[in-house]
Structure 1
């Protein structure tokens, strides 16, 4: 499988909304080759390292394929959805979505080697980014979340390079299936056991599956999604 990289994007921390929040979600395209380190693209930033960035969320990928569905769902939005970068992604492609991407996939991007570590857990900053109070909830419910990579081999990459699939150790675990069990069929014990044992999946998501198994309950999402509770 080979997919063209349409755009690579980075951004600094900046104010977001009127409540004093900060974020690096507003990213712009990078011209020319860019270094890919263990913590992501050179020059990229994260406002809150507790929840964003780090080795397991070094590079964020979002499918431009979803833009048409978002425009249909939210016709009043400005041109934010007409170009890569609306969701704070570092990598934008067309032809690769959560349905075609599996946990643990290894992708060669330029000279770097990336591994799919988890899907994105949308948070309230998407509400502020789009000016839509329930945007994070919409992203989660629709399964159009994007995903993260850990960096297995550092290197350089440029827009116009390709993502080339090197290895797919878990073809039975596309991200769409993972998202279904996290956000729809949330207490399927067999699925949660399998997720907790998925070695390439980020430790935090495996632990979340294990906690649900142990407690028989789903965690409260309201604070993350920016909902009163």
Structure 2
């Protein structure tokens, strides 16, 4: 696995059903290294700290390969790296083989896979269609949240070196499917 894009977002106010909503989902690619801290990516907007950021969700990674699936559903949309709100776009991140607790060295940082990302209405705002939320739930393309065990800089081209493989733990996709069942989706 290798980083193909590092992405951060700024605070943006959008209209959602007549209400002003703050979001950081509009990520954009940055060319300089980004710093992965214990609770967040430095310089990245987190508008909803109840559901994003914090120790177990400090960094969000998403697979470039998943983009192809959604591009077919939204051919008129201009897809940019960070489109799904991820900090790290990774060439091949596979939620079906990454287990909770798997640990990776990437750049100067050490990351531990913790939980799945559950889609919310802000993804619908980003895609200009609420259909994306259900379409996202109907895949295992949820991406991976990481805990930062060792802070440090990462950049485009940095490779993930697996330090620990926790095959006895559930995969990220398993967590996601369980959450989907729990929500009755």
TM-score by shorter chain over 0.5: yes
Q: Is the 8 A contact 2:142 2:173 kept in 1?
A: no
Question: 2:77 maps to what in 1?
Answer: 78
- Unaligned runs of 5+ residues in structure 1 are 187-217, 222-229
Q: TM-score, normalised by structure 2?
A: 0.90
Paired residue for 1:137? 134
What is the rounded CA distance, in whole Å, between the counterparts of 1:118 and 1:174 in structure 2? 9
Q: Which secondary structure does the structure 2 equivalent of 1:169 belong to?
A: coil
2 CA distance for matches of 1:43 and 1:61? 16
Unaligned runs of 5+ in 2: none
Asked whether the equivalents of residues 65 and 97 of structure 1 are also in contact (C-alpha less than 8 Å), the reply is: no
How far residue 219 of structure 1 moved from its aligned partner, in angstroms, is 4.6
Once the two structures are overlaid, the 10-residue window that deviates more, 170-179 or 110-119, is 170-179
Q: Which residue in 2 is equivalent to 1:225?
A: none
Aligned pairs, how many? 183
The offset of 1:171, in angstroms, is: 5.3
Q: Judging by fraction of residues, say which structure has more strand.
A: 2
Output the CA distance in 2 between the equivalents of 1:100 and 1:170.
9
For residue 88 of structure 1, the aligned residue among 85, 88, 92 is 85
Give the structure with the higher percent helix: 1
Contact 2:95 2:172 (8 Å CA) reproduced: yes
Equivalent pair of 1:87/1:126 in contact (CA under 8 Å) = yes
For residues 183-212 of structure 1, the C-alpha deviation after alignment (integer angstroms, 9 at most, x for no partner) is: 2xx3xxxxxxxxxxxxxxxxxxxxxxxxxx
Question: Relative contact order (alpha carbons < 8 A, sep ≥ 6): 1 or 2 greater?
Answer: 2
| CA deviation vs aligned residue, 1:21-77 (integer Å, no higher than 9, x gap) | 1100011112222222111221012112112211111000011101111122233x3
Report the Cα offset of residue 155 of structure 1: 1.4
Matching residue of 2:34: 34
Runs (4+) of structure 1 exceeding 6 A deviation are none
CA contact (8 A) 1:17 1:129 kept: no
1:108 partner SS: strand
Distance 1:47-1:172 versus aligned 2 partners, 3 A rule: closer
Residue 161 in structure 1 maps to residue 131 in structure 2: no
RMSD: 1.8
- Scaled by the length of structure 1, the TM-score of the pair is 0.74
CA distance in 1, matches of 2:41, 2:130: 30
CA 172–220 in structure 1, closer or farther in 2 if over 3 Å, else same: closer
